[in-house]
Structure 1
Amino acid sequence: MFRSLYFWTLRLAGHRHAVRYMAGVSFAESSFFPIPPDVMLVPMILARREEAYRIATVCTVASVLGGIVGYFIGYFLYDSVGLWLINLYGAHDGLAEMERWYADWGAAVILVKGFTPIPFKIVTIASGFFQYNFPLFVLLAAITRGGRFFLIAWALRRYGPPVQDFIERRLNLIGAGLLVALIGGFAAIRLI
């Protein structure tokens, strides 16, 4: 299952609109979509290693813009759209705990959670809901998302062929690991 999906994604990475599609996924993931942009980012960089930093830049900008939409959902639309999304991801019960985290650690919450498999949309909506300082939120979102995507770009550009060979030889194991990380991210939200 993972092998055909992987090679399909590699072929898609060569499409002339692939960067736009990845930008759309990255934007949507930061505000409402459940799938992280890494599923497109990694194969795209493997297919176009010479464009790794441009791809990471597009992914970062789209993610931050989507994060701004998520922030505004939390700030202006929490009682309707925001609450629905928070409940959809099972994070409503953990919102009080998250509010304490924001009060105690603020910036660290955004920086750490933006770099982990925990869905970033929870952070963006919560930041708006708690009325976290907007310019600081945008700066922190750019740092954490850029850090994550540029680290991936650097590693794949630098070590692309061995990484690609490793991925292709252990595709089922890696696919299962990514699935567990994604489910773990959603489970972590419920435990917050």
Structure 2
Amino acid sequence: MFRRLYDWTMRQARRPNAPRALAVVSFLESSVFPIPPDVMLIPMCLAAPARAFQYALICTIGSVLGGVLGYGIGHFLIETVGQWIIDFYGYGDKWQAFEAAYAEWGVWIILIKGLTPIPYKLVTIASGAAHFSFAVFVLASILTRGVRFFLIAGLLWKFGAPIESFIEKRLALLGWIFLIGLIGGFIIVRYLI
């Protein structure tokens, strides 16, 4: 199962429209889409290591712009679209506690959660709903998302061949770890935070 998906993803990563698709996925992931852009960034960096930092920049810009959309949803549409997204991710009953924590620790929440598998869209929507400083939100988003994507790109640029070999040898194990991490992020959001 993972081999076919991996081979397909590597083929897609080499296509001319891959950077545009990466930008779209990065944008949507920060506001509504559940799949992180890492699933495209990693194979694209492995397929073209010389362009790894360009791909990280595309991810960062797309993610921050998507974060601005998420901020707008939280700021202007929290009662409708924002609430639907929050409920979809199972955060509805914990929203008030999150808003209180956000009021006290806002910038740290943006910085820390932007690096984790916890859906970043919740942070972007919460930032807007809490009327958190837009400028600070954008700067913190640039920092946290940039660090995440450039770290991945840097590691793949420097150690691409051994990492690709490692991935190919342990594809099933890594596929399951990724799925568990992705699902775990949603479970953490739904039941633990």
- Following the alignment from structure 1 to structure 2, what is the Cα–Cα distance between the partners of residues 184 and 96? 22
- Partner SS, residue 16 of structure 1: coil
- Correspondence for 2:110: 110
Contact between 2:106 and 2:127, CA under 8 Å: does it hold in 1?
A: no
Specify the SS of the correspondent of 1:93: helix
After superposition, give the CA deviation of every residue in 1:93-152 in whole Å (9 maximum; x if it has no partner).
221221222122221100000000001101000111111110000000110000000000
Using structure 1 for the length normalisation, give the TM-score: 0.98
Paired residue secondary structure (1:106): helix
Contact 1:94 1:189 in 2 (8 A): no
Kindly state the Cα deviation for residue 19 of structure 1 after the two structures are TM-superposed.
Answer: 0.4
Q: CA offsets per residue over residues 67-106 of structure 1, 9 Å max, x none? A: 0000000000011100001101111122122122212222
Q: In the alignment, is residue 122 of structure 1 matched against residue 113 of structure 2?
A: no
Q: Look up the match of 1:48.
A: 48
Q: Give the Cα–Cα distance (whole angstroms) in 1 for the partners of residues 152 and 23 of structure 2.
A: 16
Question: What is the distance in 2 between the residues matched to 1:94 and 1:112?
Answer: 19
**1-structure distance, mates of 2:121, 2:3:** 28
User: Which residue of structure 1 lines up, in the alignment, with residue 95 of structure 2?
Assistant: 95
Deviations 1:10-50 (A, max 9, x none): 10011000000011000000000000000000000000100
Partner of 2:15: 15
- Spell out the pairing of 1:6-85 with structure 2 (5 A cutoff): 6-85=6-85
**d(CA) in 2 for partners of 1:174, 1:58:** 25
- Unaligned 5+ segments in structure 1 are none
Percent same amino acid at aligned positions? 55
Q: Distance in 2 between matches of 1:101 and 1:147?
A: 24
With structure 2 as the length reference, what TM-score do the two structures score? 0.98
**Aligned partner of 2:28: which letter?**
A
- What is the alpha-carbon distance in structure 2 between the residues aligned to residue 78 and residue 100 of structure 1? 16
Counterpart of 1:94 in 2: which secondary structure? helix
Query: Residue 36 of structure 1: SS of its match in structure 2?
Result: coil
Unaligned runs of 5+ in 2: none
Q: Distance in 1 between matches of 2:88 and 2:110?
A: 21
Distance in 1 of aligned mates of 2:131 and 2:188: 23
Corresponding pairs, count: 192
- 1:168 paired to 2:173: no
Q: CA RMSD in A?
A: 0.7
CA distance in 2, matches of 1:126, 1:74: 6
CA distance in 1, matches of 2:101, 2:46: 37
Return the letter of the residue paired with 1:78.
Answer: I
- State the AA in 2 paired with 1:189: V
**Residue type at the aligned position of 1:83:** Q
